Chains A and B, each alone.
Chain A
Amino acid sequence: MNKRSLRTGLLFISPWIVGFVVFTAYPVFASLYYSLTDYSMIGTPRFVGLQNYVNLFSDKVFLTSLANTLYMVVIGLSFITVSTVTIAILLNNRRIKGLSFFRVVFFLPTLVPTVVLSVLWIWILEPDTGLINSILHLFGIPGPGWLASPAWAKPSFILMALWGAGNMIIIYLAGLQDISPALYEAASLDGANAWQKAVHITVPMLRPVIVFNVITGLIGTFQSFAEAFIMTNGGPNNATLFYSLYLYENAFQYFKIGYASAMAWILLIIVLGCTVLLLKFSHQLRPE
């Protein structure tokens, strides 16, 4: 019985097994192997030990790309998380009418294909004739150079990411709707105000959802490539040279397959490490 069910089960999942071996497990280990070699796709890989890793940590451009990406994770993701949770809390008010309307509005931008998003935002952020600076101009405020300015380029990307973060709002909203109204009613009876309710009920109850979104967001941020590739190609002054963009340049523009693979493995370690830390940290915050 057991054996038979094992066979049936494995048969059903056999496409996944094949896919896992060929498209996941093999590439992950191949990438580890390449990371220990000097390889340019022509000829055979030459084993160089840990040299690529050593070189990476003395490569200022690599460190810049890492710092840029960490900026997007720490500042960008925090900003986006606080903003989206706040919007979701505002929406999760039984007295607000037109909930489904708002939900649609916030969700729509996530449907815009990345390339169109990039074209559109180049044009929104255009310093002279762009949307944002034109609106600021109406109020007599001189807008910054956005993508043209090393200081404002990353905030530009954060703003763009917030516009496309509607799915996070939807997920938070669903999480909020799962919180039992009885908790709030009890708190009201105890005289808690809206702020106290948010801090002591909403956020702790929403914790698993927040952790989920932050982990997904973290992985997404480390993988983020297309927008910077299309909009700024890493400039100005390498301000938007993000991790994945530099990895792509090394692999497909400089043909440094080994070097790029070492970057890929460092990326994997960072993502795994952050995820484990986040899960641990969030368990400590678990409400009693």
Chain B
Amino acid sequence: MSGDGNAADQGPAHRYIELVFAGLMGLFAIAVVYGAWRAGIGWGFEGPKAGFFPFIMGAGLIGATAVNIWHGLQGSKSKIFADWDQLKQVGAVTLPIVVYIALIPYIGIYVASVLLIGYFMMKISDYGPVRTLIISIAVPFITFLVFERWFLVALPKGPLEAMFGY
């Protein structure tokens, strides 16, 4: 696997992440089982009730997760999940995406996209301000034309679009 670095690399242990993840999966399974039980898992006048099928799936998932946790406990302790530099890189895109999505309800998807493309071009790659400005405005603008004008698909819009009557 490409994740196997040499001993000098530092990062969270693969085993640790795997166990935490399996634990979360187990919690999800318990939620499913509980929800299914509330919806009814027996036989109603519509046949097997709505919770019947999810209950079996949730119960099965609890079982599979238990096995996976047991396997995980026996896993190698030295293997790392990814080194810190790599995780920093992943964080460097995840954070902007989170901000991007959080902004959509307030400033609309088009303006948010201008910011997202601009950020990627300036910070993650090294484009000059002129190219960045042109591309980051042009792409969302064309998208706007395609969706709002030609295909009449309404996407979230903010104050800027409202100023132009959309």
Q: Decide whether A and B assemble into one complex.
A: no
Chain A residues proximal to chain B, CB less than 8 Å: none
Chain B residues proximal to chain A, CB less than 8 Å: none
